[in-house]
Amino acid sequence: MKTIGLIGGMSFASTVEYYRMINCEVQKRLGGNNSAKIILYSMNFQEIKELQFKSEWEKLGEILSGAAIQLEKGGADFLLICTNLMHKVAPQVEKKVSIPLLHIVDATAQKIKSQNIDKVGLLGTVFTMEEEFYTQRLKKHGIEVVIPEQQERQEVSRIIYDELCRGIFLDEARKKYRQAIRQMKENGAQGVVLGCTEIPLLLEKTEIPAFNTTQIHAMAAVEMSFN
């Protein structure tokens, strides 16, 4: 079994889910007291968030690259960035290490295509929904992307930063997210990508098939750890 390197803490709420899901799946496969071999480098999300809103992406890339280097030195065989948004700096991170980085969009795209879906809605931070690093990577897999209207995008993103990343899950937020999903469905979305690793903690059921990026990424990591 290979050792998984997790770059987490963005936020801690979803990193907990990564750790839980990966270990539960390994125990399910191997039985007994088996668990995954994991090295975790956990960030202070407040520092990361401040740099995100200053558009300091080069600096963020340096910070995550530093974490990746430490994980590789510690014995990790491959890496996961435990957040959708910070895959914006994935190319910068990949250049700094010799071990593979398991990309969350690639894993999600494979899951989407396995269900014969080629048009999805996308929920996430404004950066994830509006910038090309995420949507273009899905399009390279042959998947068309629909996003909410501008005002709804702002509210979806605000909820992520002000509530979900702090472990706050309110019914009002669920209603707003479901409204955004309904709008995207009307615009042709056959499924919805929960493109922020905290969103699955808020939404359990959706009108159209939901792609839980946290779970998809975690299960792909288990698969890679056995191959």
- What would the pLDDT profile of 6-55 be if each residue is shown by its tens digit? 999 999 999 999 999 999 999 999 999 999 999 999 999 999 999 999 99
Lookup: tokens for 124: 């996430």
Lookup: tokens for 143: 């998947």
Q: Beta partners for 8? A: 42
pLDDT surpasses 90 at 164: yes
What's the average model confidence in pLDDT over 142-152?
A: 97
> What was the pLDDT predicted at 96?
98
CA dist 158 and 31 (Å) reads 41
What's the average model confidence in pLDDT over 154-169?
A: 96
pLDDT surpasses 90 at 204: no
Q: What domains sit in the chain, N to C, each tagged with a CATH number?
A: 4-103+215-226 (3.40.50.1860), 105-212 (3.40.50.1860)
> What was the pLDDT predicted at 220?
98
End-to-end CA distance of the chain: 8
Q: pLDDT category, 222, cuts 50, 70, 90?
A: very high
What's the average model confidence in pLDDT over 97-103?
A: 98
What's the average model confidence in pLDDT over 181-210?
A: 96
> What was the pLDDT predicted at 3?
98
The three state secondary structure string of 111-163 is HHHHCCCCEEEEECCHHHHHCHHHHHHHHHCCCEEECCCHHHHHHHHHHHHHC
> What was the pLDDT predicted at 91?
98
> pLDDT by residue (tens digit) across 173-190?
999 999 999 999 999 999
CA distances from 2 to 27, 85, 95, 99 (A): 15, 26, 21, 12
Catalytically active residues are 83, 196
